[in-house]
Amino acid sequence: MGAVTVRYFAGARAAAGVDTESREASSLDQLVGQIVAEHGERLERVLTACSFLIDGAQAHDRAAALSPGAVVDVLPPFAGG
């Protein structure tokens, strides 16, 4: 397991209260559990609508492995056009 960088955007950033943070996690599911435990119910609610990018690629599976040094973007739905 190695350190990964988590970057929050828009509503996810507001719910987490930080722009970025470093975590030790080997899977996206493990990472999500950690950030929910740290930041609470408000972030948990936001995450139900979020997409995740791992090193720029969309992650469709919460069991996706995270490599040391990976960057995980937490992206809520965006409005606009």
Domain range for 41 is: 2-75
Block residue for tokens 């899977």 = 27
> How many Å apart are CA 13 and CA 7, to the nearest integer?
8
Is there a contact between 12 and 75 (Cβ–Cβ < 8 Å)? yes
Q: In CATH, what number is assigned to the domain containing residue 15?
A: 3.10.20.30
Digit-by-digit pLDDT tens for the chain (81 residues) are 679 999 999 999 999 999 999 999 999 999 999 999 999 999 999 999 999 999 999 998 999 999 999 999 999 887 555
pLDDT at 2: 78
Torsion angles phi and psi, residue 22, rounded to 5: -110, 140
pLDDT at 5: 98
Q: Does residue 80 belong to any structural domain of this protein?
A: no
Q: Does residue 58 belong to any structural domain of this protein?
A: yes
Q: Does residue 70 belong to any structural domain of this protein?
A: yes
Half-sphere exposure of 32 (CA within 13 A, CB side): 20
